[in-house]
Amino acid sequence: MSAAGDEEHLNQEEGNVEPETEYGIEDIGMRYVFYRDRKEWADVDPVPQDDGPNPIVKIAYSDKFMDVFDYFRAVLRRDERSERAFQLTADAIELNAANYTVWHYRRVLVQSLQKDLREEMKYITAIIEDQPKNYQVWHHRRMIVEWLKDPSQELEFIADILSQDAKNYHAWQHRQWVIQEYKLWDGELEYIDQLLDEDVRNNSAWNQRHFVIFNTTGYNDTAVLEREVQYSLKLIKKAPHNESAWNYLKGILQDHCLSTYPNLMEQILELQQTHSSPYLIAFLVDMYEDMLENVHNNQEETLNNALELCDLLAEEKDNIRQEYWKYIRGCLKNKYGTSEESESPSEEH
């Protein structure tokens, strides 16, 4: 991934050279040359890092690392805007792609030297493919896209990154930015369907589903809401212990009267017979709670149902969250229980 200019330095054998295996160039007898040994950099005095006399968290940099950054510091200090400085940033980035100071300077040079932005896109594409979980590389890409005013490659590129790691947070962030900024909503729902078909448990894809629908049709459209409810239930039947599907179902209904949604209670109770899970039971608790809040008949029976399920979850079905279920139980009892029954707030844990 070295900049094209590096090849020039690989044939020289003056001064202090080091066999460089990472480029695989030993095979063709080429060696890496330190900047301090490059004739064309002889006019620059390298600037060593000033850690002080008694450094803390001192990193044992390799010779190569120190050499590159000594020259980077020099270039930064004199604010040199040149092609050689530009190539130096690529070397620095290769050694530490998280150095945001180097990335910033590279962008200054891209603009100063009026570098070909399409070439820069090729460069950043390769870097991201190699290090997709770095913040700086995605930010850099975003800047190039903005300067070019051209998002046309983005969705395909991000899809490629996601095909390697379907949950890469940086990739999803970039994708949401591109879609929202350039209004590229078309086809995204189909893309999500495909991802969920590959992995129904991909929470990032479920999140994207919500993002797309929320920002296009919205969930207030009854046809849309029903479609999504049925979509979720279908996938729940396929894999009942999929937390994401249940979270999505709750998420889309929580502002739309969970307990009065037509037919839902019946469907859930029916599912409980064949496709039960702790998530289903937790969902029922949410439904009962919503009923207690909004539907004012049968309060006592509803409350008892809810409390029973809290106990079931705490004691057996979701034991690891028992403190949470005991807390919820206490809240429900306090709020909806009759005054003789209400207990003091749950004791401190």
Partner 1 sequence: MEEPISVLRCLGEYHSAELFNEDNVKTVTSIEQKKVEDSVQDVFNAYKKNHRLSPPSLQREQHYIYLKRGLRHLSDAYECLDASRPWLCYWILHSLELLDESVPSSVASDVCKFLARCQSPSGGFAGGPGQHPHLAPTYAAVNALCIIGTEEAYNVIDRSAYCAASVASLTNIITAPLFEGTPSWITRCQNWEGGIGGVPGLEAHGGYTFCGMAAMVILQKEHMLDLKSLLAPTHPVYNICPDKVAQAVQHFHQMAVPGKSGSSSQTPNL
**If binding is defined by CB under 8 A, does position 200 make contact with partner 1?**
yes
What is the rounded distance in angstroms from the CA atom of residue 32 to the CA atom of residue 12?
A: 8
**If binding is defined by CB under 8 A, does position 58 make contact with partner 1?**
yes
Q: Which of 226, 293, 241, 5 is closest to 123 using CA atoms? A: 5
What is the rounded distance in angstroms from the CA atom of residue 289 to the CA atom of residue 269?
A: 16
Pairing outcome for strands 17-18 and 32-33: antiparallel
Give the distance, in angstroms, between the CA of residue 269 and the centroid of all CA atoms in the same chain. 35
Whether 189 contacts 199, CB under 8 Å = no
**Residue 105 — left, alpha, or beta (φ > 0 → left; ψ -120 to 50 → alpha)?**
alpha
Q: Which of 245, 215, 211 is closest to 229 using CA atoms? A: 245
Site size with partner 1, rule: CB under 8 A: 70
Over the window 275 to 314, marking each residue x when it contacts partner 1 by CB under 8 A and - when it does not, the resulting string is: --x----x--------------------------------
What is the rounded distance in angstroms from the CA atom of residue 125 to the CA atom of residue 149?
A: 17
Q: Which of 247, 181, 202 is closest to 191 using CA atoms? A: 202
Query: Which of 296, 320, 339, 344 touches partner 1 (CB under 8 A)?
Result: 320
**If binding is defined by CB under 8 A, does position 185 make contact with partner 1?**
no
**If binding is defined by CB under 8 A, does position 225 make contact with partner 1?**
no
Query: Which of 52, 156, 223, 296 touches partner 1 (CB under 8 A)?
Result: 52
Query: Which of 239, 262, 335, 338 touches partner 1 (CB under 8 A)?
Result: 239
Query: Which of 243, 267, 312, 337 touches partner 1 (CB under 8 A)?
Result: 243
**If binding is defined by CB under 8 A, does position 168 make contact with partner 1?**
no
CB of 180 to partner 1, least distance (A): 7
Query: Which of 122, 227, 238, 256 touches partner 1 (CB under 8 A)?
Result: 238
Query: Which of 319, 335, 338, 343 touches partner 1 (CB under 8 A)?
Result: 319
What is the rounded distance in angstroms from the CA atom of residue 170 to the CA atom of residue 136?
A: 10
Over the window 97 to 126, marking each residue x when it contacts partner 1 by CB under 8 A and - when it does not, the resulting string is: xxxxx--x----------------------
**If binding is defined by CB under 8 A, does position 344 make contact with partner 1?**
no
**Which residue of the set 122, 133, 234, 238 is catalytic?**
133
Q: Which of 131, 126, 121 is closest to 154 using CA atoms? A: 121
Which tokens belong to 236? 């729940």
Name the segment binding partner 1 (CB under 8 A); options: 29-37, 152-160, 232-240, 263-271: 232-240
CB of 123 to partner 1, least distance (A): 20
What is the rounded distance in angstroms from the CA atom of residue 118 to the CA atom of residue 150?
A: 10
* Helix or strand (DSSP H, E) at 271: helix 264-274
**If binding is defined by CB under 8 A, does position 166 make contact with partner 1?**
yes
Residue 133 annotated among the catalytic residues of the structure: yes
CB of 119 to partner 1, least distance (A): 25
- DSSP result, 164-183: H-TT-HHHHHHHHHHHHHHT
- Contacting residues toward partner 1, per CB under 8 A: 47, 49-52, 54-62, 65, 69, 73, 76, 95-101, 104, 166, 169, 172-173, 176, 180, 198-204, 207, 210-211, 214-215, 238-243, 247-248, 250-252, 254, 277, 282, 316, 318-325, 327, 346, 349
Task: Catalogue the active-site residues.
Answer: 133
